[in-house]
Amino acid sequence: MRHFKAKLATAFGSAMIGSLMIPGVALPADLPDSKYMPPPPPMFIWSGFYLGLSAGATWSDIDGDALGTLVPPEPPIDNFSASFDSTSFRGGLYGGYNWQFDRWVSGIEADVAWANGSERQDILLGLPALPGDGTKAEFDWDVGLRLRIGYLLAPTFLLYGTGGVTWQSFEFSAIGPGFSTVWNSEDEVATGWTVGGGVEFLMPESFFWRADSVLARVEYRYTDFGSDDVSFFESGLGMDFDRRTQVVLLGLAYKY
Asked if residue 224 belongs to a domain, the reply is: yes
Residue 203 has pLDDT above 80, yes or no: yes
| Residue 33 is assigned to a structural domain of this protein | no
Per-residue pLDDT, 231: 82
Domain span holding position 160: 49-255
- pLDDT tens for 73-121 read 455 555 578 899 999 999 999 999 999 999 999 999 999 999 999 999 8
Measure the CA–CA gap between 190 and 188, rounded to whole angstroms. Answer: 6
**156: in domain:** yes
Higher pLDDT, 132 or 158: 158
Weakest mean pLDDT among 2-11, 186-195, 243-252: 2-11
pLDDT single digits (tens) 212-234:
889 999 999 999 999 998 888 77
Taking the C-alpha atoms of residue 117 and residue 142, their distance in angstroms, rounded to an integer, is 12
Q: Which helix (H) or strand (E) holds 160?
A: strand 157-175
Dump pLDDT digits (tens) for 37-74. 666 656 789 999 999 999 999 999 999 888 765 555 45
Q: Which CATH number belongs to the domain containing residue 234 in this structure?
A: 2.40.160.20
Query: Which residues does residue 13 pair with via DSSP β-bridges, in sequence order?
Result: none
In a domain, 38, yes or no: no
Question: Quick one: pLDDT at residue 174?
Answer: 87
DSSP 204: P
Domain assignment present for 37: no
What is the overall mean pLDDT for the chain? 82
The total number of structural domains in the chain stands at 1
- The H or E element containing residue 11 is helix 2-21
Q: Rounded to an integer, what is the distance from CA 160 to the centroid of its chain? A: 11
Do the domain assignments include residue 187?
A: yes
> Does a structural domain hold residue 21?
no
Q: 81-83 and 134-154 as β-strands: parallel, antiparallel, unpaired?
A: unpaired
